[in-house]
Structure 1
Amino acid sequence: MHARKTIITCAVTGNLTRPEQHPGLPITPQEIATTSLEAAQAGASVVHIHVRDPQTGRPSMELDLYRQTIELIRAVDKELVINLTTGPGGRFIPSDDDPKIAAPGTTLLPPLRRVEHIAELKPDICTLDLNTMNSGGDVVINTPKNVRRMAAVIREAGVKPEFEIFDSGDLQLALDLIRDGTLEGPGLWTIVTGVKYGFAATPETLFYARNFLPAGATWSAFGIGRSEFPIVAQAWLAGGHVRVGLEDNLYIAKGVLAKSNAELVTRAREIVLGLGGEIARPGEAREQLGLAK
């Protein structure tokens, strides 16, 4: 049994899941806030938030949508740890005729645009993606120079970065950035598994990545799709925290859509408790992560 309690993060809506894939996918600030609060009631102590255009359901980076969502959550729950994404804005789709020309669907943004909402709203945590990789037929690009520029804004805002690593090269980049002082170690890490062309969702991969982390690092892991719940168990057994949510997986069982984020959190909580663990409440998570209460 772990000496510390397990933090469950709920990634409530994400960037890639489409509204037509799940009728309960939260879209508006009110829906995102409500599902975040429901996830907290089910056992999550951290919510990872993207926002969507309320009219189209498409991903958005609008500052006011983030502001509304945070205010709605904080009006009810002051302790729940809020983790905002900085991931959108890194996708490139090459044109068929000239691959150096962006095709429709490209979302590349200047790095400072991707962290404007962090500087303004100062959430508890924000993600910092380290990956440059194939993603389906597209490419996600996070160059060391641009990661450094984003990291500087995050540090200036006093926000704790969560290093998201999708493959071994991402991990080595993060370690370099800790060595040169761009990032503070030992760090808060999330190991992403099950994304095609990234880390496989296997125990071997999880142990490989974990064993490279600096001594004293806090880490969690999650799996995409059908690997979500197996990685909950594997992450806990390997000494990490866990993440679930409609960003990562839509199903509670084979062919059965989850009713809500709260149902996914409930299953993760049951897995951890069944293995002999304990679940951290938001205040306890804040203490573990070194966040203000």
Structure 2
Amino acid sequence: MSKIIISCAITGSIHTPSMSPHLPVTGPQIAEQAIDAAEAGAAILHLHARDPQTGKPSSEARDFMGFLPVVKAGTDAIVNLTTGGSATMTIEQRLAGPLMAEPEMCSLNMGTMNFALYPMLGKRTDWLHDWEEPFLRASDDLVFKNTPRDIANVLRLMGQERGARFEFECYDVGHLYMLRHFVDRGLIDAPIFIQFVMGVLGGIAAEPEHLTHLKKTADTLFGATYTFSVLAAGRQQMAMAAMAAGMGGHVRVGLEDNLYISRGQLAVSNAQQVEKIRSIVEALGREVATPPEARAMLGLKGLAAVAF
């Protein structure tokens, strides 16, 4: 097996500030947790922006610049910027930060899907900000839009014109066939890095048999031209990551995907989750990739070519 790439998704756009005091929302908080996660072993840092006053997901370039230069100065880890932003944003809003920053890597969701967050409401009544509860409650009518036209535009704007490579986020089996469609159109070249996203209500569940099927399908569609990583939203985060590592894949953890370190215990940082998955994968005999090694594996343009 090749060396294993650990990705860490630092803040995301799903969890709200009331859910954990450890969720980073300001520029300095995001930068500090990103650098600490890299020092713990994360070669890739997957980054979203938030409004520093309210913690609400943000698409503003100024909010990205509140942490990107600090992250670059503090670590040589790969910055992977979201093009998914939040399901409440337009495609133009979602691309504002990436177009400005020209990162080495971007995420790219491979389809339109329901994105249901309302089960996270639970019994909570003590919200820090007035946007949180309506945001979650309205997600029973929320669709994340990424049509074939949207995907082609992101591939052109971020890939062909700015040299970024992609983490192709596949939330279900059909997304793998959409990815194959774009390979056949000549818009995607190897090496292909696929992130199997499991456990989001609207996508495939985080179950071992589903991961086996996803990998078997990807093997059929892409052969030796791809590598895969796995993230599981919620309580199956570590179990599915361990399974991915045992299958020869890569792994992703982070507070975007799961706020906890164990049952009922909030993670105090992203680095804590990186440390835990690193201990698991090393116990399985996998060696953790450094950022330069991950760059070589994924064919990235290099840190000197970004615009932040």
- In structure 2, C-alpha distance between the alignment counterparts of 1:75 and 1:145, rounded to whole Å: 36
> By how many angstroms is 1:76 displaced?
1.8
Long gaps (5+) in structure 1: 92-106
Root-mean-square deviation over aligned CA pairs: 1.4
User: Where do 1:243-282 residues align within 5 Å?
Assistant: 243-282=252-291
> 2-side partners of 1:257 and 1:145: how far apart?
39
Partner residue of 1:63?
Answer: 61
Unpaired runs of at least 5, structure 2: 117-139, 303-308
Q: Deviations over 1:144-176 (max 9, x none)?
A: 111111211012110111110101111111110
Say if 2:59 and 2:96, in contact at 8 Å, map to a contact too.
no
Deviation at 1:131, TM superposition (A): 2.6
Take 2:102 and 2:237, find their aligned partners in 1: how far apart are those partners?
Answer: 29
> Does structure 1 conserve the Cα–Cα contact (< 8 Å) formed by 2:104 and 2:300?
yes
User: Is 1:143 aligned with 2:147?
Assistant: yes
Whether 2:58 is the aligned partner of 1:83: answer no
The amino acid across from 1:166 in the alignment is: Y
Select which of 99, 115, 128 maps to 2:108. 128
- 1:287 and 2:283 correspond: no
What residue is the counterpart of 2:127 in the other structure? none
- Structure-1-length-normalised TM-score: 0.89
The Cα shift of 1:274 comes to: 1.1
Secondary structure class of the residue paired with 1:206: helix
The correspondence of residues 1-293 of structure 1 with structure 2, limited to 5 A, is 2=1, 4-77=2-75, 79-89=76-86, 91=87, 107-109=88-90, 111-136=91-116, 137=140, 138-155=142-159, 156-213=161-218, 214-215=222-223, 216-293=225-302
Matched residues in 1 for 2:149 and 2:239: separation? 35
May I ask how many residue pairs the two structures share in their alignment? 273
Secondary structure of the 1:75 match is helix
One-letter amino acid of the structure 2 residue matched with residue 152 of structure 1: R
Secondary structure of the structure 2 residue equivalent to 1:226: coil
The 3-state SS of whatever aligns with 1:225 is: coil
CA distance in 1, matches of 2:95, 2:114: 23
CA distance in 2, matches of 1:116, 1:20: 27
User: 1:69 corresponds to which letter in structure 2?
Assistant: F
* SS state at 1:126 partner: strand
Report the Cα offset of residue 182 of structure 1.
Answer: 2.4
Normalising by structure 2, we get a TM-score of 0.85
Q: Would the alpha carbon gap of residues 197 and 112 (structure 1) be closer, same or farther in structure 2, given more than 3 Å must change?
A: closer
Measured in 2, the distance between the counterparts of 1:160 and 1:117 equals 16
Deviating runs (4+, > 6 A) in structure 1?
A: none
- 1: distance between equivalents of 2:25 and 2:89? 22
Question: For 1:43 and 1:143, how far apart are their aligned partners in 2?
Answer: 35
CA contact (8 A) 2:191 2:299 kept: no
Q: What amino acid does structure 1 have at the position aligned with 2:155?
A: A
Q: In the aligned structure 2, how far is the partner of 1:108 from the partner of 1:41?
A: 32
Deviations 1:236-282 (A, max 9, x none): 11221000000000111111111110100011001101111111111
Is contact 2:206–2:236 with CA below 8 Å preserved after alignment?
yes
Percent identity over the alignment? Answer: 40
Once residues 197 and 60 of structure 2 are traced to their aligned partners in structure 1, the CA distance between those partners, rounded to angstroms, is 26
Name the counterpart of 1:96: none
